[in-house]
C-alpha cells in the first residue's frame, strides 16, 4: 500500500473560543509532518474499529465533495460544520482538524483527522530574584503523538465516496450518540469491521463443528484459516473467500456456513464480496491459541500445530478434566 500526501491543512477547533481558527493556506509538508500524517492514515486504514459507511441520499457532505474542487475552501467548510456542532455540545472535546489530500495506490482520497486535545506537561522556566527557577506546567492542547492513536477520523475514497469512519459516542442531549456519521457527514452507521470479522469467524467455526463433530480445535483452525486469508490479501477477507476456503478444507461445512451467514444480524449475503479489514494485531492473535491451567499457568501454542500429535496432545480424563502433553521439549 502506497500513501502519497499531496497537500494538507490544519484548522484549530478549540471550543473554549467562540469561533474556529481557520487556516488560509496549506501547511508546509516537511518530512516530519508527512511521516506524522502518513502514519495516522495508515493506522486508520488498517484498523478493525473503523466502519465502512456510505453517503445517505441527502448528504450535504457528499454533495460538497462532488462540486467543491477548492481544497482549502472545502476544508474550511468541513471545519466550520464540525466546530458549530462541537461548540453547541461541549461534551465533545476540542481538537485540531487535519484535512489531507492524498492518494492510496494511485486512487484519490480525502483524509479528515480530528486530533483531539490531550493534557500534557512540560517544563517552565521563570526568573525569581534574578535566578532561573524551573517548574512543571500543564499544556492542554497536546496532539496525539506519532506512535499514538487518532480517536476520531474519516477517510473518503473519492472514486465512489465511500468512507472509512472511526467515531466515538458522546453525551448529547442526555443520550450517548454518534455525531460524525449522523450530523457532520450524513452517512450510514455501519457495523465496525471487528464485529463483522467476529460474525464471519463464529459462523465458520459453528459450521465446522456442525459438520465435523470430531474436529477438536474448530475455533482455532478457523481462526488460522481466516488469518492466512487476510495475510495473503492485504489484511482483508470476504465472506466469499472464507466460504471457498471452507469448501476446500472442510467441504461439508460450506452449506451450513451459508445458512449462518444468512441468519446473521451483522452480515449481509449481498455483501459477500465486500472486504472486511483484519488488523495486523488481530492476525497475530489468531495465529496462536492461549491455554490456561487451573493453577494459573498460560501456554501459547501456534494454531498450525494444535492438531499435530507429534507436537502436543490433549488427554481427556474420566472426571472431565483435560491435560496438555507437550512433546519434544528442548531445555
Burial class of 112 by CB neighbour count within 10 A (0 to 12, 13 to 18, 19+):
buried
Q: Is the pLDDT of residue 324 over 90?
A: no
Q: What percent helix, strand, coil does the chain show, rounded to 5?
A: 35, 30, 35
pLDDT at 8: 97
Which residue did the predictor score with more confidence, 78 or 325?
A: 78
Tens of pLDDT, residues 233-279:
888 899 999 999 999 999 999 999 999 888 887 877 666 678 888 88
Average pLDDT, the chain: 88
Tens of pLDDT, residues 156-200:
999 999 999 999 999 998 889 999 999 999 998 877 888 889 999
pLDDT at 192: 83
Query: Taking the model in full, what pTM does it have?
Result: 0.75
User: For 155-221, what is the HEC assignment?
Assistant: EEECCCCEEEEECCCEEECCEEECCHHHHHHCECCCCEHHHHHHHHHHHHHHHHHHHCCCCCCHHHH
Tens of pLDDT, residues 99-109:
999 999 999 99
Average the pLDDT over 321-329 and give the result. 76
pLDDT at 13: 96
Amino acid at each position: 500500500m502506497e500513501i502519497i500526501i499531496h497537500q494538507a491543512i490544519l484548522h484549530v477547533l478549540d471550543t473554549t473560543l467562540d469561533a474556529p481558527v481557520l487556516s488560509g493556506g496549506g501547511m508546509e509538508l516537511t518530512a516530519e509532518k508527512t511521516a506524522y500524517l502518513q502514519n495516522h492514515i495508515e493506522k486508520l486504514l488498517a484498523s478493525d474499529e473503523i466502519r465502512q459507511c456510505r453517503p445517505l441520499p441527502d448528504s450535504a457532505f457528499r454533495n460538497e465533495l462532488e462540486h467543491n474542487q477548492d481544497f482549502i475552501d472545502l476544508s474550511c467548510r468541513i471545519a466550520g460544520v464540525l466546530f458549530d456542532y462541537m461548540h453547541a455540545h461541549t461534551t465533545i472535546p476540542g481538537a485540531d482538524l487535519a484535512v489531507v489530500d492524498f492518494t492510496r495506490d494511485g486512487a484519490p482520497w480525502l483524509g479528515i483527522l480530528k486530533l483531539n486535545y490531550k493534557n500534557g506537561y512540560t517544563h517552565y522556566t521563570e526568573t525569581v530574584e534574578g535566578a532561573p527557577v524551573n517548574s512543571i506546567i500543564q499544556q492542554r492542547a497536546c496532539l496525539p503523538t506519532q506512535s499514538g492513536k487518532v480517536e476520531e477520523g474519516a477517510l473518503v475514497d473519492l472514486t465512489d465516496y465511500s468512507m472509512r469512519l472511526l467515531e466515538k459516542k458522546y453525551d448529547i442531549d442526555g443520550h450517548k450518540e454518534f455525531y460524525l456519521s449522523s450530523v457532520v457527514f450524513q452517512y450510514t452507521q455501519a457495523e465496525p469491521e471487528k464485529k463483522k470479522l467476529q460474525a464471519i469467524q463464529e459462523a465458520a467455526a459453528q459450521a465446522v463443528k456442525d459438520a465435523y463433530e470430531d474436529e477438536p480445535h474448530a475455533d482455532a483452525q478457523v481462526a488460522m484459516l481466516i488469518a492466512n486469508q487476510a495475510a495473503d490479501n492485504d489484511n482483508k477477507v470476504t465472506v466469499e473467500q472464507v466460504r471457498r476456503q471452507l469448501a476446500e478444507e472442510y467441504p461439508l461445512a460450506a452449506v451450513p456456513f451459508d445458512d449462518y451467514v444468512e441468519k446473521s444480524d451483522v452480515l449481509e449475503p449481498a455483501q459477500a464480496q465486500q472486504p472486511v479489514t483484519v488488523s495486523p494485531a488481530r492476525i497475530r492473535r489468531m495465529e496462536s491459541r492461549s491455554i490456561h491451567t487451573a493453577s494459573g499457568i498460560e501456554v501459547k501454542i501456534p494454531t498450525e500445530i494444535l492438531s499435530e500429535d507429534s507436537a502436543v496432545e490433549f488427554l481427556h480424563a474420566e472426571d472431565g478434566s483435560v491435560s496438555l502433553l507437550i512433546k519434544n521439549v528442548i531445555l
